[in-house]
Structure 1
Amino acid sequence: MNFYQGVQAAVAGIGVVMEEFQKNIREAVFFFQERFPKEYVKIHQKLNRRSWYIINDLTLNELIELQECDELEIDNVMSDYARRIVNETEFRLLEHFPHRSNVINQVFFAHRNECFALSVPTMLTLADGIGHELFNVSIYSVERGTGEPKTKKMVKNLEENEMSRSMYLYPLDALTSFAEGTNNLEKIRLQDVDFAPLNRHQVVHGLVSEYDTELNSLRCVVLLSYLLDIKEEYFNDAR
C-alpha cells in the first residue's frame, strides 16, 4: 500500500468511527430527551408512595438502585441516606432561613434526641412556612374542584424544559402523599395499605398518633432538603 492509499484507508476508518460516534450521540440525546424524563418521574412516583423525595445529592447509581427496590428496601436506602444529610440539611436551613433559626435549632435538637413526636409535626410545619416563602402557597394545599396542588400553577413559570421539570419539580406539579386529603387517602389505602406512611394533614390535625418514629422524622429531613434544592436551583441562591 502506497502513501496515498494509506491516507485513504485512514480517512475511511475515521469516517466509520465518526458515523458510529454520531449514532451513539443521537441515541444518547434521544434517551435524555425522551426516556430519561419518564424514568425520572417513575422514580418520583415510587418514592412518593413511601413519602420520600428525590434530592439533588442522590447519585445516578443510587437512583438506579431505588428504581429496582421494593418498598422495604426503599425505606432502608432512603433512611440511610437521610441520616447522612441531617447535619448538612440543618446547616443549609440556617444559611438560607436565619430568621427561622430558633425553630430549626430546636427541631433538629429534638430529632437527634429521638423526640420524634416533636420533630415530625414541627418539621412539617417548617416545610409549610418555607413553601409559603418560596411559592406564596402551601406545599400541601390543593385547588378546590380539581384536587391539583396549588404549586402546580407556578411550576411552568419556573421551568419550561421537560427534563428539568421531571427531575426537580415533579413533586410540585403532582399531588404528593404528604398532601393527600384524608378521605382520598383512606380510599387509596383500601387498595394499597403501604401508601403514604406519613401524611401532613393526619399528623398536624391529630388524626393519627403513631407517627413518632425515626423513619418519619427522616422523611421530613428529606422533604426539607428537597425544598432547599428548589430554592438553590430556582431562586438564585448558592450553597
Structure 2
Amino acid sequence: MPLFKRSPALFRNAALLLSLTYLYGCSSRTSTDNPMTCAQVSYPLYDPAEPVNRGIFAFNQVIDEYAVAPVARGYGYTPEFFQLGLHNFTTNFNEPTVFLNDLLQGNGKRSLNTLGRFTLNSTAGLLGVIDVSDSLEIPRHRSDFGQTFGVWGIPDGPIVEIPVLGTANSRDAVGKVLAVAVNPFGDSSDTAETLTTVASVGGTIDKRAEALPLTDALQALPDYYSALRDVSAEKRADFVLEGKRGASGLHDDLCTEAPTDAT
C-alpha cells in the first residue's frame, strides 16, 4: 500500500502492460467434444498449467476457509436491511466501471441506463444505499472488462488461477487485474479513498455470501477445483453472450446449479 500511495500509476501501468501483452499474444485451443448447455464452452477446458493452478487454488482455499467464507457466513446473520444497503452501495459504486464497459462494447442504450441509475442512486439514493432506480423500473445489469474483451472477439485463452482473485480464463484474468488497477474515482481525496476501500471490502463479502450455496454444493463433489473451474467457465461464457446480445436489464445467471459429476 505505501508503494501504491507514492506512485499510484505504477500498478496501473503494470496492469495495462500485462493486458496488452495478453491481447496481442494470446491463443486459444478449442474442442467440439461435450459442449455444455449454457453457452459454447467446450470440454476439456484448456488448462495446461493445471498442477500449478491447483497449488495456487489450494492457497486461495486456505484464505477463503479461514478468512473470507467465515465472515461471509456471519454477514448472512446480519439484519436484512443492512445486507440490502451494503449490496446496493457496493453495486452502485461499481456502476462507473459498468458504464465504461458499456461504452467500450458500443452499447449506447445500456450506457445511458447505467448512467441514469448511478446518478439517481448516488443522489436520491444516498450514495446508492437505497436503490431508487429499481422503483422507477430502471433495470440493473452487469458488465466488466472480461466481458468486454469477449464481446470484442478475444479468445478465452488458457485457465489461470490468480492468488486471492481466483480461477479464470486468461482473458478474464486480465479483466480482473484491470478492474483492480482502474479506479474511476481516482485518488482525489481521503474520502474517495475511504469509500473505495469500503466498497471493495464490502463487495467482496457480499459477493462471497451470495456464492456460498453454489460453492458449498461444489465442495461436496469429488474434485472441487475442476467443478468450480467448469461452472465458472459456463457462467462466464453465458455472460459474454449476454454482452453480445446487449440486452438491457438484469442478467439472468443461466448456469447456477452444481454439476452432478466433475472430473
TM over 0.5: no
- Of the two, which has the highest radius of gyration? 1
Structure with the higher helix share, 1 or 2: 1
- TM interval, shorter chain, is under 0.3
